[in-house]
Amino acid sequence: MSPKNVFVAILMAVALAMGIFLGVRTQAPEEPLAAFVLPAPTPLPEFALVDQSGNTVTRDTFRGRWSLVFFGFTHCPDICPTTLQILATAQEELAESARSPLPRIVLVSVDPERDTPELMGRYLDYFGDGHLGITGSLDELKKLTTALGIFFEKQPGTDENYSVDHSAAVLVINPAAEFHALFSGSHKADNFVHDLPLILASY
């Protein structure tokens, strides 16, 4: 084999290898690592709650942008701040890689007795700007949680010191105000950074 033929043979081998590589990549599109995407998104129910500034929050509040919704309460020193920090970290990393649009982080209180709008505002400000805190009457809260399959239950304790069991999931709400996907606990920032662009791209 002449040197020229050897060169051509190498070129062909490289081209073949690249073809196989690209072929494999296009055959297996990336899948979410942690999120479960609903086969058919579910519209949010009718409800009327308030945000941290006292403004009314309804289903329409969720229209026009993506939201990451977490259910928790401010008198929770362990899992709630940890989850909010994970979401804030994921949001920062997505912003750094110029992935847009960035979903808004939403905390829905499952402890509306103690979580006043003012308290929600001070608490959420700690985790960054632009987050939405939702609280209000227990009846209106239950309209939302029941429709979404979110569980919460106040535990016995004193006025100041009681805990609330609650679903650990983070819900992805799409810009049509529909329940679109679900991250079940335990949460990792990397999972949100990996999965959210895929979910948004396939919408």
Partner 1 sequence: MRIIQLSLLLLTAACSQETPAPLVASDVVITRPLPGMTMSAGYLSLSNNSDATIRITRVTSAQFESVQLHETTIENGVSRMRAIAALEIPAGETLTLQRGGKHLMLMRPTMSSETVSLRFLDGDNPVLTVDANFESGVE
Query: Which residues of this chain interact with partner 1, rule CB under 8 A?
Result: 74-79, 81-82, 84-85, 118-119, 122-123, 125-126, 151, 161, 163, 165-169, 184-186
Tokens encoding 97: 């890689």
* Shortest Å distance, C-beta 186 to partner 1: 6
Closest CB to partner 1 among 23 and 54? Answer: 54
List the alpha helices (DSSP H) in 29-113.
79-96
- Of 201, 165, 167, nearest in space to 183 by CA: 167
* Alpha-carbon span 128 to 71, nearest angstrom: 18
The residues near 65 (Cβ < 8 Å, ≥ 6 apart) are 101, 103, 104, 175
Phi, psi of 80 (to 5 degrees): -70, -50
Closest CB to partner 1 among 48 and 79? Answer: 79
* Shortest Å distance, C-beta 74 to partner 1: 6
Closest CB to partner 1 among 84 and 94? Answer: 84
* Shortest Å distance, C-beta 189 to partner 1: 11
Closest CB to partner 1 among 30 and 118? Answer: 118
